[in-house]
A and B are shown apart, each in its own frame.
Chain A
């Protein structure tokens, strides 16, 4: 029973490049959440998606960040024109239709040089 999968686990990008982070939810889960953990800070909510729908993106920076969860395939968090301040661990979580319990993936650690 595979858990939440994220790839890549580590990603290095130069300033100005694009970063694409992928998340495959647990089998049977249709809700996906993205959180960001900056160094020495707690996890902060970014966006909540269901298949083909963005339900809540109140935690997403207004520019350069976007997320999608297509009908087929993983959820993608995309960061355009990365800056040093985007360096962080990005975690994806999923939950089922009838439960609030969120299960987290191992995270993607983004380093912007």
Chain B
């Protein structure tokens, strides 16, 4: 059974700091991994999707890496800004290329001005 864990559960940093969010999953036979952002009371915004054949994906100040063999992914945020404050969620398919996503509980990030 696929399980996703995100560490830390909460993180508070000063503006401008570079930071890393961690995600681990138990079943490494996945086709992809997706990172989302959720603002309070809002829906999810897809940030990055990494295919299993890729090791990393970049979008602006965000860089996500994937190590399937160890069951881990990291989301790196460079030069953090107060607008980055949100909960970041990691999700993987339940198995292989399944369309059902299993989510971690998220990392709540606060960037202080």
Question: Is B36 in contact with A104, judged by CB distance below 8 angstroms?
Answer: yes
Question: In residues 74-113 of chain A, which contact B (Cβ within 8 Å)?
Answer: 91, 93, 95, 100-107, 109
Q: Describe A's contact surface by its main secondary structure.
A: strand
Contact partners of B61 in chain A: CB under 8 A: none
Question: Is B43 in contact with A102, judged by CB distance below 8 angstroms?
Answer: no
Size range of the chain B interface in the assembly: 20 to 34
Partner of B34, one of A35, A42, A101: A101
- The residue on A at minimum CB distance from B32 is A100
Which residues of B line the A interface, CB within 8 A?
A: 4, 31-32, 34, 36, 41-46, 49, 89, 91, 93-94, 97, 99-106
Question: Is A31 in contact with B103, judged by CB distance below 8 angstroms?
Answer: no
Given contacts A41-B105, A56-B99, A101-B34, contact A106 B94 (CB under 8 A): no
In the assembled complex, the CB of A33 is this many whole angstroms from the nearest CB of chain B, namely 7
- The residue on A at minimum CB distance from B93 is A100
Given contacts A41-B105, A45-B94, A100-B93, contact A107 B42 (CB under 8 A): yes
Which residues of A line the B interface, CB within 8 A?
A: 4, 6, 31, 33, 35, 41-45, 48, 55-56, 58-59, 91, 93, 95, 100-107, 109
21 example contacts (A-B, Cβ-Cβ < 8 A) are as follows: A4-B43, A6-B43, A33-B99, A35-B101, A42-B89, A42-B105, A43-B91, A43-B101, A43-B103, A44-B103, A45-B94, A48-B100, A55-B99, A93-B44, A100-B93, A100-B99, A101-B32, A101-B34, A102-B46, A104-B36, A104-B46
